[in-house]
Amino acid sequence: MSRAALAAALLLAVGMGFGRFAFTGLYPLMLDDGLLDLQSGSLAAAANYAGYLLGALLLTRARDEQAARLCLLASVGTLLGLGLMGSLQQPAVLLGVRFGAGLCSALALVGASLWLLHRHAEPCAAPLLFAGVGLGILLSAELLAGGQYLGLRSQALWWLLAASGLLLCLPVWSQLRRPPARCRAAPGRLSGEHPAERLPPRRLVLVYGLAGFGYIVTATYLPLLLQGSLAGIGPLQVWAAFGLGAMPSCFLWHALHQRLGTRHSLGLNLLLQALGVVLPALSQAPWACLLSALLVGGTFMGTVTIAMPAARAWTAQVRYNMLASMTAAYGVGQIAGPLVAAGLYRLGLGMSPALFAAAAALGLGAGLCLLAAQGQGQQLEEPA
């Protein structure tokens, strides 16, 4: 476990765990404080995912030598965004801040990936890198729970996150100044993956888009869905369980990907995720809520851990930019999720139909993964 890997994980903890997903824990508190309503909150969530989509697409041609600068911009921009969320009150302005936070999250993910996996040549550290997202969710949820216990309101809690994020960024900034110590990259199994285990490129893009839609309703609304329904368990603690499930999941799903191949590991991942998504619609008993958080938290970063290496394996064999297509599909799914949920809520249907729709999208994605390839079509569907 190198210092570079730990620094990259901390960068994602701040850039994504704090900058992107802490909004989920603070959303109910901002509603209570009158800073947002359900409609403006859903638009703020969609704006964040739109910023992430735009940032990821703009960075598809980013070079290795730009990685440290991207990481620095991401961390500084995230801290600034956290501070602005604690200073501003107008919903329209908050939408712009959340858009910027999404852009910085993309900078963090792309920059950290380039810096660690390419610049430092540590592909074996990818699970630790992505586990940083779960660490950030867990830390931010516990900070919010502690601040709420002390009586802090939502704007003060944003400042608490900004101050804590600054402390986490200090070792990251120190490490970014160090020159990379290149090592020999370990050979991966995916380049030799049996054709029957792979997903055709277009089907992989479609499945990834469905996954983006499927997880985002839970990742946006879980504490809000559970507010007032748990005896003795705070919604923020359930959100912390979401992050706790995400931390080790990257290692688990990476190992399963190596053993089972793309189709079976991704299909299993999405089936378990669908079960976790639909549980709060079926029961709000404490066990069901905690299991939902652990299942969705324990699979959503696993989806990324499986799908992105699978996409890279197709890069040289298709005519279009595979990674950009994956990012775009996932981003569209994430934007659509909060908008669909808010629309169904306005119709008086509550959140349960949105959860069922999200679970259905994940189930469809799993079916597309597990559907047996027809002859050699899986290999030859999209020649270069």
Under 8 Å between Cβ of 140 and 17: yes
Question: How confident is residue 152, by pLDDT bands cut at 50, 70 and 90?
Answer: very high
Query: Is pLDDT of 378 > 50?
Result: no
Residue 164 located in a structural domain: yes
* pLDDT tens figures, 248-306: 999 999 999 999 999 999 999 999 999 999 998 888 788 888 898 899 999 999 998 89
Residue 242 located in a structural domain: yes
Query: Which residues fall within 8 angstroms of residue 352, CB to CB, at 6 or more apart?
Result: 281
- Do 199 and 346 share a domain, yes or no? yes
- Do 204 and 115 share a domain, yes or no? no
Domain containing 270: what range? 192-384
- Do 11 and 96 share a domain, yes or no? yes
- Do 78 and 106 share a domain, yes or no? yes
Q: How many CB atoms lie within 10 A of CB 80?
A: 16
Which CATH number do you get for residue 278? 1.20.1250.20
Among 150, 179, 208, where does a domain finish? 179
Query: Is pLDDT of 238 > 90?
Result: no
Residue 90 located in a structural domain: yes
The sign of the dihedral angle between the CA atoms of 44, 240, 355, 271 is positive
Question: How confident is residue 231, by pLDDT bands cut at 50, 70 and 90?
Answer: low
Total domains in the fold of the chain: 2
- Do 121 and 148 share a domain, yes or no? yes
197 vs 178 pLDDT, higher one: 178
Average pLDDT over every residue of 235-246: 87
Among 148, 179, 210, where does a domain finish? 179
- Do 45 and 7 share a domain, yes or no? yes
Residue 325 located in a structural domain: yes
Residue 184 located in a structural domain: no
Under 8 Å between Cβ of 325 and 204: no
Cα 268 to Cα 367: distance, rounded to the nearest angstrom: 10
- Do 249 and 377 share a domain, yes or no? yes
- Do 36 and 138 share a domain, yes or no? yes
Query: Is pLDDT of 16 > 90?
Result: yes
Give me the pLDDT at residue 383, please: 43
- Do 93 and 154 share a domain, yes or no? yes
Mean pLDDT over the full length of the chain? 86
Among 135, 156, 179, where does a domain finish? 179
Residue 185 located in a structural domain: no
Q: What is the 3-state secondary structure (H, E, C) of the chain?
A: CCHHHHHHHHHHHHHHHHCCCHHHHHHHHHHHCCCCCHHHHHHHHHHHHHHHHHHHHHCCCCCHHHHHHHHHHHHHHHHHHHHHHCCCCCHHHHHHHHHHHHHHHHHHHHHHHHHHHHHCCCHHHHHHHHHHHHHHHHHHHHHHHHHHHCCCCHHHHHHHHHHHHHHHHHHHHHHHCCCCCCCCCCCCCHHHCCHHHCCCHHHHHHHHHHHHHHHHHHHHHHHHHHCCCCCCCCHHHHHHHHHHHHHHHHHHHHHHHHHHCHHHHHHHHHHHHHHHHHHHHHCCCHHHHHHHHHHHHHHHHHHHHHHHHHHHHHHHHCCCCHHHHHHHHHHHHHHHHHHHHHHHHHCCCCCHHHHHHHHHHHHHHHHHHHCCCCCCHHHHCCCC
- Do 203 and 82 share a domain, yes or no? no
Residue 46 located in a structural domain: yes
Residue 256 located in a structural domain: yes
Cα 332 to Cα 310: distance, rounded to the nearest angstrom: 20
- Do 267 and 375 share a domain, yes or no? yes
- Do 208 and 356 share a domain, yes or no? yes
